[in-house]
Amino acid sequence: MKTLEEVKSLFEHKSYDVRSDFINEYDFKDDHFEYYRQFIVAATNIRDHLYLSDLMDLAGMLRIYDKELRDRYYSYLFTKQHSIVKLAALDYFKYCSKELLPVTYEQDLVSLLQRRASDILKNQTQCNLVLINTKKKEEYLLQLLEMLTRTNDWRSIYRVLMNLKYCEFDSKDKLIVYDHITELTRKKDFGKGVEGLLKEMGTEIRNNEL
């Protein structure tokens, strides 16, 4: 465990690359939560999109859901931001408890799907809709399958699989999406990364369904 002084020397380093490397490599199993929380909430003018997305990922990992931070990250979905930042915002909210989500969250995500965006961003938005588990979940799930069928972007497929692996999907929904992607790989080449992840996840997904 690093001391607070050691953490500060890296977390506040003048180089964003050093800061990002620290965030991605450190386990954050220490007693400095309040320092991280205050720093992240106060970080309102980050222009480097990679570093900003790393901070957002860390906020989600540490479960820092201050309203000020939620409002700021939510605004990134509807303003001009790099797609990496928008993906980080969607990741942040997919782990957020439903009680903390904006009242208009579902409608807002649906409206986002009407905008021009990359497949990876649209498919993540659709995953978030499935995860909130509303009465329209089956409709959102079907739409996700249709979107996956249309894409040729292996990164989008890989990201959806990572959602299945780490997010709290219903076990039946998880199996439906997993089987659909497996079938798609028989018709399209999504690369060894997708193929390897499918093999890694297969036994666990099917065992959870039993």
Q: Is 47 exposed, middle or buried (0-12, 13-18, 19+ CB in 10 A)?
A: exposed
**CA-CA distance, 201 to 45, in Å (whole number)?**
39
- Tens digit of each residue's pLDDT (9 = 90 or more) over 148-158: 999 999 999 99
**Which pTM value belongs to this model?**
0.92
pLDDT value of position 4: 96
Q: CA torsion sign, 154 to 156 to 161 to 162?
A: positive
Q: Which residue has the tokens 């800061």?
A: 19
Please state the rounded mean pLDDT for residues 117-134: 96
- Tens digit of each residue's pLDDT (9 = 90 or more) over 4-35: 999 999 999 999 999 999 999 999 999 999 99
pLDDT value of position 134: 87
pLDDT value of position 210: 45
Please state the rounded mean pLDDT for residues 130-140: 94
**CA-CA distance, 22 to 27, in Å (whole number)?**
9
Amino acid at 45: N
**CA-CA distance, 149 to 152, in Å (whole number)?**
8
- Tens digit of each residue's pLDDT (9 = 90 or more) over 84-117: 999 999 999 999 999 999 999 999 999 999 999 9
pLDDT value of position 209: 59
Q: Does position 183 have pLDDT exceeding 50, yes or no? A: yes
Q: Does position 208 have pLDDT exceeding 90, yes or no? A: no
